[in-house]
Chains A and B, each alone.
Chain A
């Protein structure tokens, strides 16, 4: 990207992504450029693909679950092109690193709403929780424990008792108990890794 083009991008992003200062945006754009360079040139320098994205998030935040990372990729990749552009990159990270509770709730809900129909269904919960039990009581149906857990989660969060979680349900539950923000699997960086990421990336700011 040309020097001038980059400056324009930075300026417009500083305006749109309100959680970052200008110098921080510059750093993120710089990181973006590095990643694009690393990726195959399939998108002609406009962005990078899923693999690079996954590796980056894995390295930065220790996020390991492929299924979750795929979902994170989809929420970043708003236009669904399979390519993360610089805007998508900065805006996505804004939520991850500095998002308000509101933004994070929307983000997490989107992650958990696997089919994007606006509800987290029992099946979706099952899908997300199926590996969460490390000990299966062997005389039960293998999935019995998970189904049970889904019921527990539903009982806790399904305020309107329709057997699935709408965003309203989810929002209400999270406001009542913030821990439920990541109820169906970690999809946000934890405080230590996000702190060290910010330190690492933003410290290199040329002042």
Chain B
């Protein structure tokens, strides 16, 4: 007998051989289970949750119990039964034994008893204000603890059962003391002085429950309405799972699977009968059959969010990670698949990583060579491991862990296999990880694009979706966009647009098209496949995530002149302008870009204007999101340029000019740049320039002059050049110290900056003082070089500026020397 079993004398053990070195099966399990069911499970878990309090996770973390008694009983009924039973058998506490029997009898019930129990419960529920769950009297929601423990009005609810509970709890605390861990002692103190002490207890260990309380009652009540056949059936089986040897446990586990475990009622019943703890404890035994049986149930019920959290809280993930090393293939698969279900939230994913789960899962991918001879069992292992990795890969650190464990080549290897049920989780993992640059590099260099493109033509829509989604994320990289084209992926992508009824697929596909369309060669291909026309049809009646991508793709496509006409001819302008009234910032940014692109064509501009598109764009400048502001300002540029009577149109927007001038106070570089560009266009109209001058455009522009950002420099210089055309603005720019910084722009590397700067300097040089500053800043030599430029405009502006400076010098000389 192992020591553990010896410490639990009352437990009957299958007869051991007298000279045996191994204990009977029951004994071995019991020995391990005894201490596990006892207290320590929950305590570190709740503490852990608390320490991590900074991560705001709105999902419920811990269980809620009404008070410490129900908490204890709910958490480990096994413990109560087991320990209480021992007390009994050792005949040290006969009094408690009796109480225990009474309570336990009521709880696990024959038919009549259960009926009685049910009535009692219903009454009890009526008494409770809102919160009673689908519980035997063994487990009750914890959430109202504070009030029921303290307030007199609620306290009375508890009386009907208080007696039995207290008797039982004493048994618990006594046996707990026997096990003598520090934690159990603290519990005993709580027991002794329920009430105020319990509040402090709550403060210590359940701090996270506050946020949970809000959503809790609704869910629980849902369950309680169905407290019926399933609940009692499961409770009956739970009795054998808890109180039987491995054989009885196994029969009960197998029968439990006959319940519809995908139903929430059954899932919660398993939790509320305290069966969940036992299922997890079973995982920590050496009984492969019981482990398997337990995991088969856990795999099903972990679809439920509450159960997932409970499993994580009970330390189930750690054990399942350990099971990944088991020699039994089925068991490994089940563990991996259950991990896949549980690791749907951040804390669980972290637990898996911290306990070496990622490495083990990756090893499972490696353990099977993908030769011709692998069997169904092996593919199942890979499938389950990939599923688990997929769930885990939603955390950034796990992505890194997968890479470090050597997962990328294995993902690449399995990406070449032919089984859709393996490919789906593999591609799912890849597309999840493709947010990391290192994975994108690997996807490119390990030749994964070819496989992804190939599977775009799979018959499984889910697989197609993940492939498209992977391309969507990867195609941020130019080289990948080229690879998609080289492997002829653009055509299947276009073809998939026809599957417009599957919105998730459509979102992924349009996303991939959008990103691929950033490359010009790809746009030309899309023209060939008539993709633009199809995209236009998707501008209406689509969910937002599709619209964002569709309009994004159109925005890229209309950088190509031919497509602007295509969009107009297929009636795309009107729905696009309509979308300017949307609220989603991501969508608005893309709409702005697309409308701006279309506005480059005068014919399109006429339509946009007739639909009042410019006003809509202009009002988006008021949007709080800087990306929306910037994209709207950019889109306004071609509009103002191409609209007829644009000056008058702009003036007709009440307060519009003040609005755009004030955006020069923004902190966002892109907003500033785009607004400068817009102002440059607006200033071409003298009247508008006058209004802007009144609103103080000159000092605001001057203030921006000290920047190193070449893009901003260019558009700023353009704006300054155009704003010089009114009144004493040239002088004003000089006074507000814009000239010296501008002069330095000539040293920038960007020729576009040179051109804009030369134009601005040319305008500014009309004022003698500015000429002096320019001369002092050594512009003449730089401008002289630019006179030799091939860019006519730059050449002319540079020459004009030099001429002005020269003229001033001559005039000065003349004045000096007569």
Chain A residues with a Cβ under 8 A of chain B: 55, 58, 62, 64-66, 128-129, 131-135, 137-140, 144-145, 148-149, 152-153, 155-156, 177-180, 182-186, 190-192, 195
Write 11 A-B pairs (CB below 8 A) sorted by A numbering. A128-B247, A129-B251, A131-B245, A132-B247, A133-B240, A134-B243, A140-B110, A145-B239, A153-B251, A155-B255, A156-B255
- CB pair B240–A64 under 8 Å, yes or no, is no
A64 is contacted by which of B20, B110, B328 (Cβ under 8 Å)? B20
CB 8 Å contact bits of B317-340 with A (1 = contact, 0 = none) = 000000000011010000000000
- CB pair A191–B253 under 8 Å, yes or no, is no
* B299 close to A (CB within 8 Å): no
In whole angstroms, how far apart are the Cα atoms of A186 and B722 in the complex? 92
* B24 close to A (CB within 8 Å): yes
Contacts of A192 in B (CB 8 A): 286, 327
- CB pair A135–B247 under 8 Å, yes or no, is no
* B267 close to A (CB within 8 Å): no
Contacts of B20 in A (CB 8 A): 58, 64
- CB pair A137–B250 under 8 Å, yes or no, is no
- CB pair B15–A149 under 8 Å, yes or no, is no
- CB pair B327–A183 under 8 Å, yes or no, is no
Q: A64-B15, A64-B25 are in contact. Are A138 and B101 (CB under 8 A)?
A: yes
Contacts of A156 in B (CB 8 A): 251, 254-255, 258
B477 to chain A, nearest CB (A): 47
- CB pair B247–A185 under 8 Å, yes or no, is yes
In whole angstroms, how far apart are the Cα atoms of A195 and B110 in the complex? 44
B54 to chain A, nearest CB (A): 43
In whole angstroms, how far apart are the Cα atoms of A135 and B239 in the complex? 9
Chain A to chain B: the 6 pairs with minimum beta-carbon distance, closest first: A135-B243, A132-B248, A62-B22, A64-B24, A139-B105, A132-B245
- CB pair B15–A129 under 8 Å, yes or no, is no
In whole angstroms, how far apart are the Cα atoms of A117 and B309 in the complex? 50
Contacts of A180 in B (CB 8 A): 250-251, 254
Q: A64-B22, A186-B246, A192-B327 are in contact. Are A149 and B251 (CB under 8 A)?
A: yes
- CB pair B247–A183 under 8 Å, yes or no, is yes
* B288 close to A (CB within 8 Å): yes
In chain B, residues 210-259, which have Cβ atoms closer than 8 Å to a Cβ of chain A?
236-237, 239-240, 242-248, 250-255, 257-258
- CB pair A133–B25 under 8 Å, yes or no, is no
* B483 close to A (CB within 8 Å): no
In whole angstroms, how far apart are the Cα atoms of A152 and B148 in the complex? 40
Contacts of B296 in A (CB 8 A): 179
- CB pair B14–A131 under 8 Å, yes or no, is yes
* B563 close to A (CB within 8 Å): no
* B30 close to A (CB within 8 Å): yes
- CB pair A183–B250 under 8 Å, yes or no, is yes
Contacts of A131 in B (CB 8 A): 12, 14, 245
- CB pair B251–A152 under 8 Å, yes or no, is yes
Smallest Cβ-Cβ distance to A65: which chain B residue: B14
Q: A179-B293, A192-B327 are in contact. Are A137 and B105 (CB under 8 A)?
A: yes
- CB pair B240–A152 under 8 Å, yes or no, is yes
In whole angstroms, how far apart are the Cα atoms of A140 and B110 in the complex? 8
B164 to chain A, nearest CB (A): 14
Contacts of B247 in A (CB 8 A): 128-129, 132, 182-186
* B616 close to A (CB within 8 Å): no
Most buried by B among A132, A156, A177: A132
In whole angstroms, how far apart are the Cα atoms of A188 and B348 in the complex? 36
In whole angstroms, how far apart are the Cα atoms of A167 and B539 in the complex? 63
Q: Is the interface of B mostly helix, strand, loop or mixed?
A: helix
Contacts of B15 in A (CB 8 A): 64-66
In whole angstroms, how far apart are the Cα atoms of A145 and B12 in the complex? 16
Q: A64-B14, A156-B251 are in contact. Are A179 and B292 (CB under 8 A)?
A: yes
A25 to chain B, nearest CB (A): 24
Smallest Cβ-Cβ distance to B110: which chain A residue: A140
In whole angstroms, how far apart are the Cα atoms of A184 and B14 in the complex? 14
In whole angstroms, how far apart are the Cα atoms of A185 and B289 in the complex? 11
Contacts of A128 in B (CB 8 A): 247
* B199 close to A (CB within 8 Å): no
- CB pair B108–A152 under 8 Å, yes or no, is no
In whole angstroms, how far apart are the Cα atoms of A138 and B89 in the complex? 11
Contacts of B14 in A (CB 8 A): 64-65, 131
A183 is contacted by which of B12, B236, B251 (Cβ under 8 Å)? B251
Smallest Cβ-Cβ distance to A188: which chain B residue: B289
A133 is contacted by which of B245, B253, B254 (Cβ under 8 Å)? B245
Contacts of A178 in B (CB 8 A): 330
Contacts of B133 in A (CB 8 A): none
In whole angstroms, how far apart are the Cα atoms of A54 and B104 in the complex? 40
A120 to chain B, nearest CB (A): 13
Most buried by A among B11, B25, B251, B327: B251
In whole angstroms, how far apart are the Cα atoms of A195 and B237 in the complex? 33
Chain B residues with a Cβ under 8 A of chain A: 11-12, 14-17, 20, 22, 24-26, 30, 81-82, 85, 101, 104-105, 108, 110, 236-237, 239-240, 242-248, 250-255, 257-258, 286, 288-289, 292-293, 296, 327-328, 330
In whole angstroms, how far apart are the Cα atoms of A65 and B26 in the complex? 11
- CB pair A179–B105 under 8 Å, yes or no, is no
In whole angstroms, how far apart are the Cα atoms of A195 and B286 in the complex? 15
Contacts of B24 in A (CB 8 A): 64-65
Contacts of B11 in A (CB 8 A): 134
Contacts of B330 in A (CB 8 A): 178
In whole angstroms, how far apart are the Cα atoms of A135 and B248 in the complex? 11
Smallest Cβ-Cβ distance to B327: which chain A residue: A191
In whole angstroms, how far apart are the Cα atoms of A186 and B28 in the complex? 14
In whole angstroms, how far apart are the Cα atoms of A181 and B286 in the complex? 18
Contacts of B239 in A (CB 8 A): 145
Contacts of A66 in B (CB 8 A): 15
- CB pair B244–A132 under 8 Å, yes or no, is yes
Contacts of A190 in B (CB 8 A): 288
Contacts of B248 in A (CB 8 A): 129, 132-133, 149
Smallest Cβ-Cβ distance to A61: which chain B residue: B22
Q: A185-B247, A190-B288 are in contact. Are A152 and B255 (CB under 8 A)?
A: yes
In whole angstroms, how far apart are the Cα atoms of A192 and B286 in the complex? 10
- CB pair B81–A135 under 8 Å, yes or no, is yes
In whole angstroms, how far apart are the Cα atoms of A149 and B236 in the complex? 10
B26 is contacted by which of A134, A138, A140 (Cβ under 8 Å)? A134
Q: A64-B16, A66-B15, A133-B244 are in contact. Are A152 and B252 (CB under 8 A)?
A: yes
A137 to chain B, nearest CB (A): 6
A134 is contacted by which of B12, B17, B105, B255 (Cβ under 8 Å)? B12
- CB pair B244–A191 under 8 Å, yes or no, is no
In whole angstroms, how far apart are the Cα atoms of A55 and B21 in the complex? 12
A149 to chain B, nearest CB (A): 6
B261 to chain A, nearest CB (A): 14
Contacts of A139 in B (CB 8 A): 101, 105
Contacts of A191 in B (CB 8 A): 288, 327-328
In whole angstroms, how far apart are the Cα atoms of A154 and B460 in the complex? 41
- CB pair A64–B17 under 8 Å, yes or no, is yes
Q: A65-B15, A131-B12, A132-B245 are in contact. Are A177 and B104 (CB under 8 A)?
A: no
In whole angstroms, how far apart are the Cα atoms of A64 and B247 in the complex? 14
- CB pair B240–A134 under 8 Å, yes or no, is no
Most buried by A among B11, B22, B237: B22
A199 to chain B, nearest CB (A): 12
Given A55-B17, A191-B288; 20 other pairs, CB 8 A cutoff: A62-B22, A64-B15, A64-B17, A66-B15, A129-B251, A131-B12, A132-B247, A133-B244, A133-B248, A134-B244, A137-B101, A145-B240, A149-B244, A149-B251, A156-B251, A156-B258, A179-B253, A179-B289, A180-B251, A195-B327
A171 to chain B, nearest CB (A): 15
B237 is contacted by which of A65, A152, A184 (Cβ under 8 Å)? A152
In whole angstroms, how far apart are the Cα atoms of A139 and B288 in the complex? 33
A33 to chain B, nearest CB (A): 23
- CB pair A179–B245 under 8 Å, yes or no, is no
B38 to chain A, nearest CB (A): 16
- CB pair B250–A182 under 8 Å, yes or no, is yes
B250 is contacted by which of A133, A135, A179, A195 (Cβ under 8 Å)? A179
In whole angstroms, how far apart are the Cα atoms of A192 and B292 in the complex? 15
